[in-house]
Amino acid sequence: MAPTSFKAVFPPAPTKRSALIKNSLTLSTLLVLGGLVQTVVSFILPPRYALLPVVFLLLRAAVLTAQDTVSSTKYASKLGVIAGRISAQLPRASYDPLRTETASPFGSTPAEKGIVVFNLGARFNHPLGMLAPGAKEFADQFTACNRDLLKRAKELGCLGGTTWHGAQAASNNTILSIYYFRDLDGLNRFAHDPVHRQAWDWFTNVFTKKWGYSHIGIFHEAFCAPAGAYETIYINMPPVLMAAGHASIKNEATGEDEWVPTVVEATGSVWRSQFSRMGKAVGREAKA
């Protein structure tokens, strides 16, 4: 009997998600800003009313926290958590829901296709962090590259990406975007894209040479994992990293392109160990 194709967690959809750059303000910065706002309110409102905004926010936070604590399952669902074990797999280039052998967007062997991981990031080596001179212009260039990449995701074979803040420093001044591609050719085409070229020219010719700045560092890493040389497992997690990706595949029945989430159910013996999740022989090493 032929192996059963993996079961997708989400059905194919005509749209895809996009990555967003998160706020980098630290807790101490937020507290200072909150104190500043409260000081301004104290000057504007009478003393007996000045604390009303703070009291309202505290009560609201207490009520919401109590509500989420009582119903932790609903809270996890609200965060997009998928209970149990899931994995991220690269969908086929096409599928046909009307034919049994190709009805699933996924195959039956883990890691049966190679994947390219691209890490692109920046660090703001300045006391003002993302408010430093040139940071806004840099962010505009970075955002333009990200927007262009996601807009051309189908053409470049990009599965999408997620953005993270580094925690090495209390200032959270390092930003990292992690992207996934079907192959190295797509990544190489993005590297030579006019928008990416424009961003690089701005950084070297304007930010560095014309303005004389050096307080923003940039970096990238690229990893090409061939078929059978990587594995993924997520337990009680929302879709994250490769599991947050979407791949463009063709529906042979309709002739239309669809965006398929990379998430599949990870139940059964094939998902129990690292080697088996790489599509290798089951039982060669300890369970994960």
119 and 253 part of one domain: yes
Structural domain includes residue 103: yes
46 and 104 part of one domain: no
73 and 123 part of one domain: no
Compute the distance between CA of residue 149 and CA of residue 151 in angstroms, rounded to an integer.
Answer: 5
Look at residues 57, 54, 17 and name the one whose alpha carbon lies nearest to residue 260. 17
Look at residues 282, 252, 144 and name the one whose alpha carbon lies nearest to residue 200. 144
Residue 267 domain boundaries: 82-277
38 and 165 part of one domain: no
Decide which of 15, 46, 78 is a domain's last residue: 78
50 and 184 part of one domain: no
pTM above 0.85, yes or no: no
Q: Domain holding 193: CATH number?
A: 3.30.70.100
Structural domain includes residue 131: yes
Q: Is 115 helix (H, G, I), strand (E, B) or coil?
A: strand
pLDDT at 106: 87
96 and 138 part of one domain: yes
Structural domain includes residue 285: no
Structural domain includes residue 49: yes
- Reading phi first (left if > 0) and then psi (alpha if -120 to 50, else beta), residue 160 is in left
Would you say 95 and 251 are in contact if contact means Cβ atoms under 8 Å apart?
yes
34 and 155 part of one domain: no
Structural domain includes residue 3: no
49 and 141 part of one domain: no
Structure tokens at 117: 């991981």
**What is the C-alpha end-to-end distance of the chain, expressed in Å?**
28
63 and 175 part of one domain: no
Site of tokens 């009478």: 46
pLDDT at 14: 40
Structural domain includes residue 288: no
200 and 119 part of one domain: yes
165 and 245 part of one domain: yes
110 and 70 part of one domain: no
Site of tokens 């046909």: 96
Decide which of 78, 101, 119 is a domain's last residue: 78
Q: In terms of DSSP bridges, do strands 263-265 and 158-165 run parallel, antiparallel, or are they unpaired?
A: unpaired
Decide which of 60, 78, 96 is a domain's last residue: 78
Would you say 106 and 267 are in contact if contact means Cβ atoms under 8 Å apart?
no
Mean pLDDT by 10 residues, the chain (288 residues): 50 38 54 74 74 77 76 69 91 82 82 94 88 91 90 92 80 86 94 92 94 94 95 93 91 88 89 88 52
The set of residues, in sequence order, having a beta carbon less than 8 Å from that of 19 and lying 6+ positions away, is: 146, 150, 160, 161, 162, 163, 177
Structural domain includes residue 87: yes
Structural domain includes residue 239: yes
Q: What are phi and psi of 116, to 5 degrees?
A: -115, 130
Query: How many structural domains comprise the chain?
Result: 2
Q: Where are any strands of DSSP class E within the chain? A: 82-88, 94-95, 115-124, 158-165, 174-181, 216-225, 234-237, 246-251, 256-261, 263-265
